[in-house]
């Protein structure tokens, strides 16, 4: 399914007459990108490969490694994470952990996602890898695996360093990967919460969580070197977009740039499901089968990203075999469903047999012949 999805998107991006890019908004920040999450299709970019300090947007990778470790069963949300002297010494945004303080991984992860707590970030890194340096090596390995070619991390929380950098494009890659894990949304969409049994309040540094409809995450960041950064994601009508803003001069300008890009994407593009409602709608006769016909279904549910105004113009043509000879295997290709837009083919989705049909045995065939002869008398 993914291969088909990406192939369709690539074809559309190359077909200028079909995928005419609307005029984007003005973005004040020096570096930005807007992508559709599932495919990674770039809808807007501005200096998106410029290496810049990411500040706490770094924590997207920390959260990604954490949820991946959780899903592998390496760690559990119920784990008690012990704060080391090193973790407690972190400056910047924090929840003021004390050396030796114990807190559940659930509350630590919540503190990272909501309040951007540097101390919790380091404590979790040490819990997973034993020490921050080993965890940072894991971060760089994961970045390389994701194709983040212009990224290098030297810490897990985003404190400034000449050797700690990434790009808007690379941030979009790790944001897409993080959002594949549904569990993280339970943290990145929290507006206000508490830890330590309600004694310490958390307020999300990403104000879009409260003020932008459909926000799903992901992470803000700020240092004097990095400026105001954000990877902002939102979902509407089945399409999720990610807007990355780097080095904005103020928090309001950062949020305005991100909101503007998201608005632009939602206003002008749509993800269209191809073949929805097609399964089981058609049958093909089967010769010499124990059943007279077999129902068909789509082999995969393809989707395509197109300009929103073009969505109603998508046409489809179902091409099926006139008949099949038994045996028929479940999943056997029996036709195609072709989608096109203004004469340009968007996708060709395989149509397959929904069930298996066994071939009649010799005695069954003789029996059917005899029945037909008797009926004629």
pLDDT tens by residue, 293-307: 999 988 877 778 888
* Residue 56 annotated to the active site: yes
Mean pLDDT of 258-278: 86
- In CATH, what is the architecture of 283-363? Sandwich (2.60)
Whether 59 is catalytic: yes
Q: Domain 2-269 class?
A: alpha beta
Spell out the domain ranges in the chain: 2-269, 283-363
Prior bond of 174 cis (ω within 30°): no
Q: What's the average model confidence in pLDDT over 92-112? A: 97
Asked if 153 and 58 count as a contact pair (C-beta separation under 8 A), the reply is yes
Q: In this model, does residue 361 exceed pLDDT 80?
A: no
Interacting residues of 239 by C-beta distance below 8 A, sequence separation 6+:
36, 265, 266, 269, 270, 271, 305
Residue 366 clears pLDDT 70, i.e. is over it? no
pLDDT of residue 279: 58
Residue 144, classed as helix, strand or coil, is: helix
pLDDT of residue 16: 30
Is residue 377 pLDDT above 60, yes or no? no
Is 2-269's fold the same as 283-363's? no
| 165-199 tens-digit pLDDT | 999 999 999 999 999 999 999 999 999 999 999 99
Q: How confident is the model at residue 342 (pLDDT cuts 50, 70, 90)?
A: confident
Contact call for residues 207 and 94 (beta carbons, < 8 A): no
Torsions phi, psi for 108 (to 5 deg): -65, -45
The catalytically annotated residue of 31, 48, 59, 93 is 59
Q: HSE-up of 2 (CA within 13 Å, CB side)?
A: 4
31, 39, 56, 93: the active-site residue: 56
Catalytic residue, chosen from 84, 93, 116, 259, is 116
The pLDDT value recorded for residue 356 is 95
Q: Given pLDDT bands bounded at 50, 70 and 90, which one contains residue 372?
A: low
Asked whether the predicted pLDDT for residue 238 surpasses 70, the reply is: yes
Would you call 50 helix, strand, or coil by DSSP?
Answer: coil
């Amino acid at each position: 399914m993914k291969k088909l999805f990406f192939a369709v998107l690539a074809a559309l991006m190359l077909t200028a007459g079909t995928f005419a890019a609307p005029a984007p908004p003005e973005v004040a920040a020096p570096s930005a990108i807007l992508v559709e999450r599932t495919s990674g299709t770039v809808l807007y970019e501005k200096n998106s490969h410029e290496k810049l300090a990411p500040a706490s947007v770094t924590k997207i990778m920390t959260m990604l490694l954490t949820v991946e470790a959780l899903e592998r069963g390496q760690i559990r949300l119920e784990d008690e994470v012990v704060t080391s002297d090193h973790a407690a010494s972190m400056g910047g945004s924090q929840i003021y952990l004390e050396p030796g303080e114990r807190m559940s991984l659930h509350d630590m992860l919540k503190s990272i996602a909501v309040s951007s707590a540097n101390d919790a970030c380091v404590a979790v890194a040490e819990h997973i890898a034993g020490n921050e340096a080993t965890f940072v090596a894991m971060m760089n390995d994961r970045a390389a695996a994701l194709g983040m070619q212009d990224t290098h991390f030297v810490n897990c929380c985003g404190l400034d360093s000449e050797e700690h950098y990434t790009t808007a494009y690379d941030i979009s890659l790790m944001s897409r990967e993080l959002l594949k894990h549904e569990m993280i949304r339970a943290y990145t969409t929290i507006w206000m919460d508490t830890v330590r049994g309600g004694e310490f309040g958390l307020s999300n540094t990403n104000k879009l969580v409260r003020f932008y409809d459909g926000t799903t995450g992901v992470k803000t960041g700020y240092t004097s070197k990095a400026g105001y950064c954000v990877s902002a994601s939102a979902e509407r009508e089945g399409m999720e977009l990610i807007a990355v803003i780097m080095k904005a001069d103020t928090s309001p300008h950062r949020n305005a740039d991100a909101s503007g890009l998201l608005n632009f994407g939602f206003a002008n593009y749509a993800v269209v499901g191809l073949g929805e409602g097609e399964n089981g709608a058609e049958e093909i006769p089967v010769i010499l089968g124990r059943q007279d016909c077999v129902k068909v279904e789509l082999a995969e549910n393809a989707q395509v990203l197109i300009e929103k105004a073009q969505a109603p113009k998508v046409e489809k043509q179902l091409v099926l075999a006139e008949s099949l000879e038994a045996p028929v295997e479940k999943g056997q290709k029996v036709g195609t469903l072709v989608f096109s837009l203004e004469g340009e083919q968007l996708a060709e989705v395989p149509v397959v047999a929904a069930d298996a049909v066994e071939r009649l045995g010799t005695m069954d065939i003789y029996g059917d012949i005899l029945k037909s002869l008797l009926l004629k008398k």
